[in-house]
């Protein structure tokens, strides 16, 4: 059913309009230096390739490919077509593989974070690279005095059905290739075979420079559910100055398993973060963040504060970021100071930084 629906949307879109404009191509790479326990490591997450453009006057397409800095193949992060106008009642549709409208942070690519690393609590729920899946999402602006958007999505697989490590190749085990290909086709079929998300967001333009956004989100998979709320306030007197205050909380009902370990059927994983970021001129920003997560019944929790700085020497095409934060041991008995430096560069219009 899903394939027929997506196919119908694609055929209709291509039938009623075409564009001859060439798509935009971009490449983003990074270099990360970590210092922890008197040890310094040098690494890279690889490169991200973006191909973006309008399919016709009514719809645009966005494709994101990622090549990790290892022996794994190129990974398809997103390949989505968005119908932005032309549908009745002001409806909008996204179809393909994309990051669902679940909470505030899930739709953001990591290179856009001002704090370098995703909050660990959010990563525990959404995955290290956050959640993307193949599906259809529809959204509508509600007839309210303020900007209010309601979205509903359906996906063929749920959270936890993708793990980059499962795609890593072992050149010494070619005899397992057929089994691997079979497993890859059925990947996620035994977990959250179908998933639904819903989000209701509200945007208030308090005045010309002050804006407020509030959102409520929900997720339902085969064996688990998520409820979330988010908040964002932004003061922006001009293009190069802004103050952003953002917070989000997700509560994940784990049922009877988490990270391949048995848990109490009533266990809940709660994750939250709060962030303040101040962009005070064209090149510099700094901020603070608190990252929190807890397993309620297991009486296990962690809270880690951090500060971060950003420097954009050539506007949006290159960014140097620094993060200094607290990191706890797995048993939470000892706290350590972790320093991370990140350099991000880009070729093309898809930038690693937005004002």
Q: 10-residue block means of pLDDT along the chain (355 residues)?
A: 51 51 88 88 91 90 92 92 86 94 90 88 90 94 93 90 46 44 40 83 95 96 88 94 96 75 79 96 93 87 94 83 86 82 90 70
pTM of the predicted model over 0.85: no
Among residues 119, 115, 49, 57, the alpha carbon closest in space to that of 82 is found at 57
Is residue 121 a part of any domain in this protein?
Answer: yes
Count, in order, helices (H) and strands (E) of the chain.
3, 19
CATH of the domain at 225: 2.40.160.10
Residue 162's domain comprises 2-347
Is residue 181 a part of any domain in this protein?
Answer: yes
- Report pLDDT for 192: 47
- State the Cα–Cα distance between residues 191 and 222, nearest whole angstrom: 7
- State the Cα–Cα distance between residues 231 and 246, nearest whole angstrom: 6
DSSP assignment of 296-326 equals TTTTEEEEEEEEEEEE-TTTTSEEEEEEEEE
- State the Cα–Cα distance between residues 50 and 27, nearest whole angstrom: 6
Four-point Cα dihedral 43, 320, 350, 74, nearest 10: 0
Is residue 352 a part of any domain in this protein?
Answer: no
Is residue 354 a part of any domain in this protein?
Answer: no
| Number of structural domains in the chain | 1
């Amino acid at each position: 059913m899903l394939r027929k629906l997506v196919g119908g949307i694609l055929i209709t879109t291509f039938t009623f309009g075409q564009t001859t404009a060439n798509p935009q191509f971009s490449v983003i790479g990074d270099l990360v230096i970590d210092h922890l326990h008197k040890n310094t490591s040098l690494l890279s997450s690889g490169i991200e390739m973006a191909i973006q453009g309008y399919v016709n006057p009514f719809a645009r397409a966005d494709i994101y490919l990622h090549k990790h800095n290892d022996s794994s193949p190129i990974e398809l992060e997103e390949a989505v077509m968005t119908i932005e106008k032309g549908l009745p009642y002001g409806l909008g549709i996204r179809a393909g593989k994309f990051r669902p409208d679940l909470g505030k942070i899930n739709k953001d690519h990591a290179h856009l974070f001002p704090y370098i690393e995703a909050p660990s609590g959010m990563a525990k729920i959404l995955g290290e690279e956050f959640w993307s899946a193949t599906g259809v999402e529809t959204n509508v602006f509600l007839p309210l005095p303020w900007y209010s958007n309601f979205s509903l999505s359906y996906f063929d697989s749920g959270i936890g059905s993708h793990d980059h490590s499962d795609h890593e190749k072992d050149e010494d085990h070619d005899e397992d290739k057929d089994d691997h290909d079979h497993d890859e086709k059925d990947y996620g079929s035994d977990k959250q075979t179908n998933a639904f998300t819903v989000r209701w967001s509200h945007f208030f333009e308090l005045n010309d420079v002050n804006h407020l956004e509030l959102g409520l989100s929900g997720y339902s998979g085969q064996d688990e559910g998520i409820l979330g709320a988010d908040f964002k306030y932004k003061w922006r007197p001009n293009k190069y100055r802004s103050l952003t205050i953002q917070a989000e909380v997700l509560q994940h009902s784990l049922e009877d398993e988490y990270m391949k370990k048995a848990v109490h059927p009533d266990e809940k994983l709660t994750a939250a973060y709060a962030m303040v970021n101040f962009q005070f001129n064209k090149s510099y920003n700094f901020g603070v963040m608190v990252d929190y997560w807890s397993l309620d019944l297991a009486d296990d929790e962690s809270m880690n504060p951090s500060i971060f700085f950003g420097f954009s020497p050539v506007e949006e095409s290159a960014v140097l970021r620094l993060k200094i934060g607290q990191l706890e041991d797995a048993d939470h008995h000892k706290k350590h100071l972790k320093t991370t430096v990140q350099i991000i560069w880009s070729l093309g219009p898809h930038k690693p930084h937005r004002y």
